Chains A and B, each alone.
Chain A
């Protein structure tokens, strides 16, 4: 009964989304504010109705109502409570509902938040958001409903995929979706600017926090996914250029380009068409990403069943939104000529331009690699995959270039930089970058990736530190306070800038982690019996015993491995080979010990009946810098979002 209430609510939400679109059009035609109010009521009601829809689905999972088809396919009576809730978005039906629920939440918040200050934008915002919501609701209700009944009900459910029974996986999809959906707000404001012809800088200033919030969510989502892959899939790495990962990486890349290039428009009133283009591409890629993953199109490469109807609908929907967006951009583009021109090649503007160029080439690369197999399969019928080496060769120089720009861009003046200022700002960082490279080289490091990485990280890190150090000491001298206090007041004096630079520092830390854990990873695979040991790096690993352990919905063979450094026992690691009860699916659970900011990572992929275990050990140096860098990036973004408002904002 409860699930029908949810279903019915979502049906009404669909009707209201059409109503919201119509009322927005009427508002624009009649110039009557009442129609905008009707739109606002529709949107708010959609939010409430979709909340009911979500609640009814969660409830059905909690009472384990296996007469609901979706509940029966993604959960099981023995599934722990925590994962039972996560199972709501464990399959594509539920995750699409979560997507549109987040969309309705964000758009309702945006409408109420900007209602007073942005009255003219409202009809466009409401109309656009309702259109996207409608597209999703049609898909959910007619092609991918989580509310369908399964009569007669099975005695028990099929269970949630064991790999998804993991804390990081619980948060990964919602964070990604909040990122995708968050970009819909600046997108809608951009569309409003295009439709209304109010093409100033206002839409960018209003949506700056939305953009950076969406970016934070997307970044967190991607990092969580990497973290999950790292310890759950048991291969000891975190990024594999899998099409599913690529789908979330593309909007991130363009979104990052966008949040940089808007600064040029704010400060110099340039890049107007370009910024509109970027946000349209960002949101389009968010839609494409969702649909690529959720339609099952991508999996067709590996011959899993797909639903052609859903694929076709998705294609039409995405094409419609993208068509509307780019169509209106083309019609308006002539009105958007910059009043100012680029003054010099060596200026902050041109650095932003190159930043954008790098990010877009990166996006195009991922796009090509992800979609080329689909195109080939569609048109030629041959199946093909693009290997990770492709992405690595292309991304390495792009990443290094971007990191280098990171050290230049923020310290080069707008308009035109003089030779003297270039020398003053960049001579010391250049020397430090070179020193870092030379030191690593003398330490015996010969990987080009690591050496080039050391140069750019050293250069950019030095540029950031030197500049902030100078400002801090200036502030501390002026107010005659300690250096620490001075740096604090320097930070708050221009929090937007320095929180951004803090995020840059996070990126540098992350990159150090990636380089170290990639280039200097050691791996060893051995088969051994109880009492045997093997050497990996500086450690001696001994299999002490293998025993059975039992979890709530799984049983496992657990290997107890003693890790010695020299003669002293460092730790005991307990990797498992699990079999989940309901699906009888085996999984390999890793065991990890952190040391010197790196990981000793151990899995036991196989135990034969006669007691011979296969063990795989991986040493990942500085891997904690990857997640730590991510944390610093997040902190920088939070300080940006929650900075005190300035008068001109």
Chain B
């Protein structure tokens, strides 16, 4: 093989491998984005959004929390001051989850106009060390991510 040929075949193979990897990196990107909304925005969702995984942030309404008697989980309400949405949650809430505190929930807005979630990220009201607390706040999504490898 001539030196020019070698160069061409090298470049082609780099492009092939690189292209495949780039496709892998970019092709999956869009569908793995999870958008963040406020309760008011969620209330205004069109039916197109019913099957989309979203995150909603707000305050947990005082007195709205009610644990299920027969299984793990609870219902509560989340508000942004203007609109309030009911949330049904299955699972274990994080340590910092409390009424009257901020929380971010991940899940789906259903056609019964309830938010179905199995993931809560709680926020701390004090202002120190937000970064580490944020790490703490995401303790639950970690639970699921490795599992996604199997699928």
* Contacts from A to B (Cβ < 8 Å): 73-74, 90-92, 158, 161, 163-164, 229, 233-237, 239-242, 244, 293-294, 296, 298-299, 301-305, 341-345, 350, 353-354, 357-358, 361, 364-365, 368-369, 372, 382-390, 392-394, 396-398, 447, 449, 518-519, 521, 523, 525, 527, 583, 585-588, 605-606, 608, 614, 616
Contacts and interface: CB of A to CB of B under 8 A. Distances in A.
B134 A305 contact: no
Contacts of A608: 67
Report, nearest first, the 8 A-B pairs whose CB atoms are least far apart.
Answer: A388-B145, A383-B36, A240-B142, A390-B32, A304-B130, A361-B21, A389-B148, A518-B146
B105 interface: no
Interface in B29-66: 29, 32-36, 53, 55, 57
A386 B55 CA distance: 12
Interface of B: 3, 6-7, 9-10, 13-14, 17-18, 21-22, 24-25, 28-29, 32-36, 53, 55, 57, 67, 72, 91-92, 95-96, 102, 104, 121, 123-124, 126-150
Contact of B24 (A233, A397, A447): A397
Given A357-B21, A358-B21, A387-B34, A237 B14 contact: no
B28 A605 contact: no
30 contacts: A163-B133, A233-B136, A235-B143, A237-B146, A239-B142, A239-B146, A242-B135, A302-B121, A302-B123, A305-B127, A342-B7, A345-B6, A353-B14, A357-B17, A358-B21, A382-B35, A384-B35, A385-B34, A386-B29, A386-B32, A386-B34, A387-B33, A387-B34, A388-B141, A388-B142, A392-B145, A396-B149, A397-B24, A583-B126, A588-B95
A169 B46 CA distance: 45
B150 A519 contact: yes
A449 B92 contact: no
User: Which label, helix, strand, loop or mixed, suits the secondary structure of the B interface?
Assistant: helix
Given A299-B130, A385-B36, 18 more contacts: A163-B135, A237-B145, A240-B141, A244-B131, A294-B131, A302-B123, A304-B133, A305-B127, A305-B130, A382-B36, A383-B55, A386-B29, A388-B141, A388-B142, A390-B29, A398-B21, A587-B95, A608-B67
B32 A387 contact: yes
Given A342-B6, A394-B25, A394-B28, A605 B95 contact: yes
A613 B103 CA distance: 23
Contact of A586 (B14, B18, B57, B96): B96
A389 B72 CA distance: 25
B28 A393 contact: yes
A233 B92 contact: no
Given A235-B140, A449-B150, A386 B33 contact: yes
Contact of B22 (A239, A361, A583): A361
Contacts of B150: 447, 449, 518-519
A364 B92 contact: no
Contacts of B134: 244, 298-299, 302, 304
Contacts of B36: 301, 382-385
B136 A163 contact: yes
A233 B25 contact: no
A46 B137 CA distance: 39
Contact of A605 (B67, B92, B137): B92
A343 B139 contact: no
A383 B35 contact: yes
